[in-house]
Structures are given as C-alpha cells and as structure tokens.
A and B are shown apart, each in its own frame.
Chain A
Amino acid sequence: MEQDESRQRGMHRRDFLRGAALGLAGLALPLDRADASFWEAFFQKHFREMNDEEIKQVISRLEKEYAQKFKKQIEIGADKPIPGVLYGYGLDLSRCIGCRRCVYGCVAENNQSIDPQIHWITVLRFRKGEKWVDLENSEKYYSPEKVPEEEYFYMPVQCQQCENPPCVRACPTQATWKEPDGIVVIDYNWCIGCRYCMAACPYGARRFNWGAPNRPEEKINPKTHYLGNRPRYRGVVEKCTFCIQRTRKDPGRYPACVEACPVGARKFGNLLDPNSEIRYAIEHKRVFRLKEDLNTSPKFYYFFAYGR
C-alpha cells in the first residue's frame, strides 16, 4: 500500500514536470496524449442519437479507458428497455428497521465514490406517535447502537423515478431523460454539470461529483450499464437508476437495495403486469407517494402493510 502511494507520487511528479514543460501552451487540453480518445470523447454524439454500431464503438472506447484506469476489465452493457415493462417500486414502512443495508448494498453495486462519499439512498428517521410522515422533523444522521429503535420509524428515500420528472424538464442539454420503461437516466458523457436538475428535484435524489470519484479497484463492480453504474467522472450528476444493469436483463435481477433488505420491506416489479408484487401492494395496501401535490407522479410507492 505504502509502496503504491510512493509510486503514485513519483508518477505525479513526472506528470507534473511534463505538464509544466507543456504548461502554458497546452493549458488543460491534453494535446500531448498519444491516443485520440480525448477527441473521440469530445466529439461523442448524444446517446439517443447514436445507432447501435456507434454505441458499440463508444462502449469499446470506454471499456479500454476503464481497463487502463482501474486495471481490470469492466463490462458496459447497453440493454434496451424491455417492451411492455414500466418499473415500479414499493416500500413497506412498517417493516423498515432503518439499518441502512440498502444504502451500502446500493453503493457496492453501483460504484459510487467512497471518498468523496456518495450515497444514492437516504434513510430518514421519524419519531413515532407524533405525526404522520413529517419531513420537518425527520433526521438524516441518526446513529444509535442498535436498530430498530422502539420510538422511531424510518423512511428510505431515493430517486422516485417520476413519470413527470422536474429534473428532466430542467436539463439544458437533454443529458437526462426518461426511458420507455420509466427509468430516469443520465448520460455521464453529455452532462455539463450545471446542477439545475439538483435544484429542480423535489426529493433531493441527485448527487454531484464534487471531486474525481474515488473507489478502490477491487471494489469496482465490473458488471455495468452505460446509463447506470459504470464509473462516473468528476463534475457530472448521478442518481439511482433502479439498478438498470440488473433489471433490464432477461431474466433480470432485483435492484441491489431490494436484495439487501433483511426484512423484505422493499418490493419491485412491473407496473403493467397485473400479477406483479408491486401491483398487489398498490391494489391491496394503502399506498402513498411523496409530495403528491407537486404532480411529479413518482413510481415509488410507500405503504404501511401492517401494525404500528
């Protein structure tokens, strides 16, 4: 580890000397780089305007870049939406114990930066017996010895995958959009990092890479999707994608947070399939959606299945 660090430092010094030599002339443009991938990246088209062949080329370029950077093979999928599928999520607040396993399951699956720390899921804590879900008196940074605590209940919040997403409306470059299967995605190679979507999201669900994302190589999940959990860049926005890299496969897998939940509070399925678990929850439980009054129409349903 120490050796690693010193090697890195040595490299920095070399880079620095080379940079200083080119310094004023080159500015931030890496004109000295032998590979053309910088310019290829610069002139890359918008994701939705590329045909399959172009997408393949971009992906192979990115895979090469990632291999160089992380010293391991990272596979970038581009699975398309499955026809007849509209994803929906259910969260049973009567079961949730506030353990945050979903938060860390999500981080392990989706390659979030560890330092600076990025979490896509926030778990809020509410005191029982006072009011209904009262956001004003919720706490984000609770840390008891043990959960669940007798006097509290918990509510995890993540991207609500709105049918009418204010973030998409706000984006000046169409770098974020809603896919036909209802997932709101971001093209990390098109986002300019203006953070208007963050201002626009009523659920605080979007995260910005304030610095270069940092994640140890051995912790990188190599199974990724172009619009999902592939490694991100400094200066772009990211958020939950319902684990697009898992859920779009056929047969698919549940999102990591659903798998991680130890009490089965999280439900996931196809809203268009009358036999799906999520449809059962919506039809048989008393469900609600967050900030319904804003007409964002989330595809994320909360409910209390039983008891207190």
Chain B
Amino acid sequence: MLEKALSGSNRYWAWIFFLLAVIGIGCIAYMKQLNEGLGITGLSRDVSWGLYIGQFTFLVGVAASAVMLVIPYYLHDFKKFSKIVILGEFLAVSAVIMCVLFIMADMGQPMRVANILLHPTPGSIVFWDVVVLNGYLLLNIVIGWTTLGADRKGVKPPDWVKPLIYLSVPWAVSIHTVTAFLYAGIPGRHFWLTAVMAARFLASAFSGGPALLILLALLVRKFSKFDPGAEAIQAVGKIVTYAMFANVFLLGLEFFTAFYSNIPGHMHPFLYLYTGIDGHTKLVPFMWISSILAVVSLAILVFPHLRRNENILAFACAILFISLWIDKGFGLIIGGFVPNMFEGITEYWPTLLETLITIGVWAMGFLVLTVLYKVAIAVREEDAAVEH
C-alpha cells in the first residue's frame, strides 16, 4: 500500500520537500548538539528538562487520544466513526514516533540508550514508559495497517486484530498514565507531586488530541475526495468539549489545594508561572495566553450551535490546541523546576538551536503523518470510486 504515497500532485510533493528541508535544518542543528553537548540548549543545572521533554509529554497525550475514536467505534459500534478512526490511529503512530525522537534529542549519551533495555529496571518509570510507548506504536501500526488493507480489498479485518484493538484501549490509557507517573512520583517537587496528575494528563490528552484530529480531518476533506464525515467531526467536537471541561476542572483543583493549604512549596510554582516571582516573569504572558485561550475555546465549544459551524469549530479547536500546548508542552515541565530545590529561581528559555531541533522533530512527525494519511486517503478514494 505504501506505493500510494509515491504518487501525488505537485502540491503534495511541494509539501513533502518543504518538510524534508525543515527536517534537514533540524538535523544540522542536532549534529551541533551531538558534537557540543546539551549545553547548546537553554537548560541548566536547575532547569534540567525543557522543551524536548515538554514536547514529548504533550505528544504522548496526542498519541493516547486515538482511543477516543477507538472506544466509540469498536466498543460501542458507533458507525459514524468508521472512516475517521484510521486518521486517529495514524495520528497516534506519528505522535509516538515524535515522542521517541524527542527523548533521543534529550539524551546526553544517545549512543547508550540501549542500556535501558540491556538493564531492565522495573523500579524506574522511564523503563516502563519506553515499554508502553513502543508497544503502543507497534499496536497502532499493526491495527491501522491491517484494517486499512482489509478495507482496500473490501473485506472485513481478520479476526486476530480484534483482541489487539481491545488491548489498545487500556494501552492508550497506560501510556499517558505512566508518563504522568514520571512526574507524579518524585518527592520534593511539589508542582508535580499530585495524585490528579495522571487524570489531568488524560483529560488534556483527550481534548488536545481530538482537537488536532478535527483540524486534520477538515484539511483532509478540503484537499482530497475523502470525507471523514461531518457527523463524525461533530461527535469528536463533543468529546473535545467534555474533556476540556474536565481538564480545566482538574487544573482548578490544583489551584485550590495549593492556595487553600497555603503551603509555600505548593504555591510557588503557580505563582512563578502566573504572576512571576521577584521579577522573574518569562513564562507569565504565555501562561495567561494559555488560560485565556482555554476559556475562549470553552465559551465557544459549550454552545452546540456555534460548534456546528465548522469554521467556528476549527477556530475553537486551534486555540484550544495552542492553549494546551503551552500549558503541558512548556509550563508543566518548567513549573516543576522553578523554584529549584532550595527555592532559588533560575529561568529557562529555549535557544535557537534547541527550537530548530524541536521544529525538525515536528516536521518528521508531519512527514510520517502525511505519508500515512496519503495511503489512507488513496485507499478510501478508491473505495468511494468502487461504491458509486
């Protein structure tokens, strides 16, 4: 089926080459990091994780969100998702690939990463994260490819895929739960030491991921003959809305605990992020942009008649996605490190090279996504031609 990605319009090839160019720039930047070390980033002794790990965390959420389509379609037989579900599965594949690349980018000694598997360490959450992420990648490739292949031949997917599909449901939850445990089990970092971390991760994943999916589905419809279905898009819109309310609610719980308990260690990261401490205010504008976008997107999404207008829906999804990207892809990680263990403040800001590497990884993800979607769309367009 992969050959279908090799024929396309000029616009398709222009997009592919654009992505390749961006990846190339990212690779050059990464070579510099490989030669000089992670000192080329804005990271420091106090803020030892930053943009890379933030993006990784955010994208695990995007990957997990495929389950929001799998559950209705395969568990509740919600037929309207029959066409869009493949888009979710392939989005998950590209998101997990980006996760792996971001982890690699963050390693001080990337040549040695195999040590994680050479020395399985069940006590370390990172070990489990590697296991569940790679498992999830494999599951989605197998499921997506097999169901699409069956579709192409106009037959039902083979029976052996069913158990894998059911397995992918708890597995999707596991990838984001384990990723939350990376943070939520660390003593001494108050901002992360919260039992609702995993729940918040899932809520933000199930709103941010499907929001991206809506945008992608609208793009697919615009640029191809494949229609994922207006009703399907509306149904996903509903999921986005509920999950985003849950996410904002959970964030509110964090604020309550921090400020009602009045414990300095709990309050300080929030104060740093939303008001700044002692004139250190680098992240403040971004956190407020994130908050405002979250509120505006909810104010739009909560009204069904606004949501039904696809342009308005797309706008709401776009700002919701940006809001969560700032909150989870950036604020959540930095907030855990500022103030530091002795209440000192060291601020962090990514460097140009770090940003180029990050953009390069995103481009790689979009390249994988484009190729997979191209195949899926080509198969579906064939189907549509046969049916009519």
Contacts and interface: CB of A to CB of B under 8 A. Distances in A.
Nearest to B340: A204
Given A199-B186, A200-B186, A291-B188, A190 B37 contact: no
B227 to A, nearest CB: 44
B329 to A, nearest CB: 17
Contacts of B38: 193, 208, 210, 235
A173 B119 contact: yes
A227 interface: no
Interface string A183-209: 000000011111110111111100111
A112 B153 CA distance: 64
A170 B108 contact: no
Contacts of A116: 39
A166 interface: yes
Contact of A174 (B106, B108, B121, B264): B121
A210 B124 contact: no
Interface stretch (B9-17, B44-52, B159-167, B236-244): B44-52
Interface residues of A, number: 50
A204 B188 CA distance: 10
B112 interface: yes
Contact of A170 (B46, B113, B130, B186): B186
Contact of A157 (B31, B118, B342): B342
A211 interface: yes
Contacts of B34: 28
B262 interface: no
Contacts of A139: 344
Contact of B336 (A28, A46, A199): A199
Contact of B119 (A140, A174, A193, A291): A174
11 contacts: A28-B111, A46-B119, A166-B186, A166-B188, A190-B112, A192-B109, A201-B188, A204-B340, A208-B48, A210-B37, A294-B187
Given A124-B342, A169-B124, A170-B126, 9 more contacts: A42-B111, A169-B123, A172-B116, A173-B112, A190-B112, A194-B107, A196-B126, A208-B38, A210-B43
Interface of A: 28, 42, 46, 116, 122, 124, 135-140, 157, 166, 169-175, 190-196, 198-204, 207-212, 233-237, 291, 294-296
